[in-house]
Chain A
Amino acid sequence: MKDISRSVPKEDHEEKVSGRALYVSDIQMADMHYAKTVRADRPHARIRNIRLPELPEGYVVVDHHDIPGANHVNMIFEDWPVFADSVVRHVGEPIMLVCGKDKQIIQSICDEIVIEYEDLEPVFDLQESVVHKSFQKGDAAAAFARADQVVERVYETGYQEQAYIEPQGFVGYLEGEKKVTLIGSIQCPYYVKNAVIKTLACDPEDVRVIQAAVGGAFGGKEEFPSLIGCQLAVAVHKLKKPIKIIYEREEDMIVTTKRHPSKTTMQAALDSAGRVLAIKAHVALDAGAYIGLSGVVLSRAMLAVTSAYTIDHLDVKGDVYLTHTVPNGAFRGFGAPQMIFAIDMFMHHLAKHLGKDPYQFRKAHQAKQGDRTATSGIFRDPILMDAMVEKATSMSDYHRKQKDYASPDVYRGIGMSWFLHGCGFTGSGESDHIKAKVRLRKSDTDHVYVLVAAVDMGQGAKTTLKKVVVETLGVPYNQVTFDDPDTDAVPDSGPTVASRTAMIVGGLLAQAAQTLKETWKRGETQVVEKTYRQPEFVIWDEKTLRGDAYPAYSWGVNIVEVSVSPVTYEVKVEKIWSVYDVGKALDERIVLGQADGGIAQGVAYGYLEVMRHHGGHIQHKNMTDYIIPTAVDMAPTETVIFDNPYALGPYGAKGVGELSLVGGAPAVAMAIEQAIGRPIQKIPATPEMIMELMRDETH
């Protein structure tokens, strides 16, 4: 049989290199109107009065009074208003849309709107917990009681901005009297549809959501577009014209969700031989003004507490705090990058504290097949980490460099992270909440249409999912079509998130294609549907966070080498080596592309990307202030993919998308730590921070 990993031409390559692919802002319609959002300019205030100028004919303002249904965005926690009503809780909170034909007139209307506020006391510290979770494994209290010593460290991470190159946007219009259609730059067509149904209080058939070409997302277009979609749907009903809304870069960076800043306290109980008996951990996430998805982000952070290690006794707690800042949300990794930074640095720091070789120390705690996971589930599948670590260390010459760079005056360092990432939704999420359904339709000319809600946002979903169908059916590529999802045409196969698309949606498509192949009737229309069923071995208690948090795990090793300028303390990343187990690559070139892009974001999270707020105002609000890597900053990469087929994945595939990001920060931080001879407990490790550390002579 042909090896599925052998790369095929990317489905959308031609249209993307030639500029023909249509993104939202490229869509033209007759009589197009535009919308602009009027926003709060302070972090916490009561709206006293709003004075509007006289509106020219054909111009409207749309606010919470116009919402026929619920004034909150439908997501897991329903606290996020579509439009602010009496109180604003973060800078940039949307209050109304101004809509009309001419953008300049819209702008002048916006300029003339006067909003009178009564300022309220804003909260920026993590003091108001709104979600608290905890779980235990073994008996941590007993282990701490018999410990030879207890070591505590605190780890902090900052904001990270998705910085997709295409800002958020939608086009909306009415079809007939009451049906609203939204075309958007989105990851989750059905999230938008379900949110709009609640806001309009309408029937499901009165909302249609279509995905335009998506110019990057990385989680930033997971839940946030539901907010814009709800606002625009209300506006379209009021104005009864097609309306386009495209965020400007600065607006996008000020108001859209980011990676949660975090503070994680780790305590280890060590025995007299220097083994970790138990860990107590507490992770604090800054949600910003609304909870949104933060409770779920918290879960994924907590579940990653021991990452690629096995520790027998755990006491893990976490809290989500509200502050009067921009709401934070989904970003590739979804809580795991914060925790994996904390645990991998902690293991490294524990070894140093004990005077042990960190490599041997980590080896002694490495997770093995059959071990109990952090949540007392079981690592059922083979774990290849021994061979993967061996491969990564030999190709990077890690051990020699570790010795050579030990002296502080060489200002060079090499760091290594080990990590896992749970594939798909946590626990019973897939079976209880998502219930993914896929469909294949064969026409009477024997052409096959792939009907799923999975979005190609650059990660190659169109190519890999189509490939699964083509290879299973054994038909030519031009006999199968995969169009961008339209909720009028495709079933709800779930959101394009959580490293679930290849494994879950791809798995269902492989089953559907197999059924279609077995029942194939030439020249006849046929429809095959498959619905997700949780593997029977997955047992999960959502209340106690106990059991198998994920059906499968992908694994990785990152090694990063840096040099640090002894004068400016600027960090130069010299080279990056990675080894991944993603089950089986459905397309090698696409997986390597995910690997490169993920590690670029993960490493930059650790040393380069700085975003802060001052009094609730985001200070890094454009591409000049918020630095993402350029081709000059990005180091060459060497990546090896190990085969370790997962029985329930299509052709053995597991999750890919997030894995390559989550280990970048600890690897680069450990490399910088070696180069400067000072411990790193906070990222991003900027030159300013390094300078502060170098001034501290106590190390």
Chain B
Amino acid sequence: MKPIKFILNDQPVEAHTNPSRRLLDVLRGDYGLTGSKEGCGEGECGACSVLLDGYAVNSCILPLASVEGRHVTTIEGYAKTQRFAVVKAAMGDEGGSQCGICTPGFMIAIESLLKKNPKPSEQEIRTGLAGNLCRCTGYNMIVKAVQKAAKVGEGLW
């Protein structure tokens, strides 16, 4: 079987495994990157979000084959960036994380949102985060964190 070659957290990798496996299982099982979570397994909750060429996708419904030749960034890779540091601080200040199971997915979704739209309105933030479910916060503190990150991190996106 031909290996699937892709860039994982800025490192080129070759995955010698069944290309129809879910990307999430490969990331968690084969590479030990357990920061991406499985909440529903059907692309509904967004806890498994990773960046594919810079934008959020649900890794639980993505076959490994579809990342051939592309950049995959998980929360572990994103956590090394300056943008992450800005969002992390804003999430802390605004109380955007409680139980934390959805939080890595939200961090990825926020990055994707700000990359597309560095100065989103409140409504654009809500729409941009609608693919990620959180049961603890009621979202408003996350929305405020995005507003704060966009302001503090102006110019980073």
Contacts and interface: CB of A to CB of B under 8 A. Distances in A.
A126 to B, nearest CB: 29
Interface string A241-281: 00000001100000000000000000000000000000000
B26 to A, nearest CB: 15
Given A592-B95, A623-B44, A600 B139 contact: yes
Nearest to B129: A631
A593 B139 contact: no
A167 B102 CA distance: 12
A254 to B, nearest CB: 14
A461 to B, nearest CB: 11
Given A28-B32, A165-B47, A628-B133, A18 B37 contact: no
A652 interface: no
Given A10-B92, A637-B140, A215 B44 contact: no
Contacts of A214: 99
Nearest to B39: A165
Contact of A18 (B88, B130, B132, B133): B88
Contacts of A10: 92, 95, 97
B23 interface: no
A9 B93 CA distance: 8
B97 A632 contact: no
A23 interface: yes
B156 interface: no
Contacts of A217: 99
Given A18-B79, A249-B39, A623-B44, A215 B101 contact: yes
Interface in B92-110: 92, 95, 97-104, 107
Interface string A591-629: 011001111110000000000000000000011100011
A162 B133 CA distance: 13
Best-surrounded residue of B36, B74, B104, B140 (most CB of chain A within 10 A): B140
B79 to A, nearest CB: 5
Contacts of B134: 165
Contacts of A21: 100
A190 B76 CA distance: 34
A644 to B, nearest CB: 23
Contacts of B104: 17-19
A216 B133 CA distance: 12
B56 interface: no
B135 interface: yes
B137 interface: yes
A596 B141 contact: yes
Contact of B138 (A15, A19, A167, A597): A597
Given A21-B100, A165-B99, A632 B138 contact: no
A593 B44 contact: no
B152 interface: no
A331 to B, nearest CB: 12
A216 B101 CA distance: 7
Interface string A295-335: 00000000000000000000000000000000000000000
Contact of B34 (A9, A22, A458, A623): A22
B42 to A, nearest CB: 6
Interface residues of B, number: 50
Interface in B28-55: 28, 32, 34-42, 44-45, 47
Nearest to A604: B138
Nearest to A163: B135
B91 A17 contact: yes
Contact of A624 (B42, B47, B87): B42
B127 interface: yes
A622 B44 contact: yes
A391 B34 CA distance: 46
A213 interface: yes
B39 A597 contact: no
A20 B130 contact: no
B57 interface: no
A90 B14 CA distance: 47
A593 B92 CA distance: 12
B90 to A, nearest CB: 10
A623 B132 CA distance: 11
Contacts of A441: none
A25 interface: yes
A554 B124 CA distance: 36
Given A18-B35, A597-B137, A631 B130 contact: yes
A218 interface: yes
A19 B34 contact: yes
A523 interface: no
Given A10-B97, A17-B88, A249-B39, A634 B45 contact: no
Nearest to A600: B138
A251 to B, nearest CB: 10
Contacts of A630: 126, 129-130, 133, 139
B42 A623 contact: yes
Contacts of A628: 133, 135
B125 interface: yes
Contacts of A53: none
A19 B35 contact: yes
Given A165-B99, A216-B101, A630-B130, A596 B91 contact: no
Contact of A249 (B41, B130, B136): B41
A166 B139 contact: no
B75 interface: yes
Given A623-B45, A634-B139, A457 B133 contact: no
B140 A16 contact: no
Contacts of A17: 79, 87-88, 91-92, 97, 100, 103-104, 107
B142 interface: yes
Contacts of B34: 19, 22, 25-26
Given A20-B35, A460-B98, A593-B98, A13 B92 contact: yes
Given A23-B37, A593-B136, A597-B138, A632 B130 contact: yes
B130 to A, nearest CB: 5
Given A593-B141, A637-B138, A458 B44 contact: no
Contact of A165 (B32, B45, B142): B45
29 contacts: A10-B92, A13-B88, A16-B100, A17-B97, A17-B107, A18-B35, A18-B76, A18-B79, A19-B34, A19-B75, A19-B79, A19-B103, A25-B37, A28-B32, A165-B101, A165-B134, A215-B102, A249-B39, A249-B42, A589-B95, A597-B138, A599-B138, A600-B138, A622-B40, A622-B44, A630-B129, A630-B133, A631-B132, A634-B138
Q: Which 8 A-B pairs have the closest CB atoms?
A: A19-B35, A215-B101, A458-B99, A16-B100, A600-B138, A458-B98, A19-B75, A596-B138
Interface of A: 7, 9-10, 12-23, 25-26, 28, 162-167, 213-218, 248-249, 457-460, 589-590, 592-593, 596-601, 622-624, 628-632, 634, 636-637
Given A16-B103, A23-B37, A216-B101, 7 more contacts: A19-B79, A21-B100, A165-B37, A590-B95, A597-B137, A630-B133, A631-B125
Interface of B: 28, 32, 34-42, 44-45, 47, 74-76, 79, 84, 87-88, 91-92, 95, 97-104, 107, 125-127, 129-130, 132-143
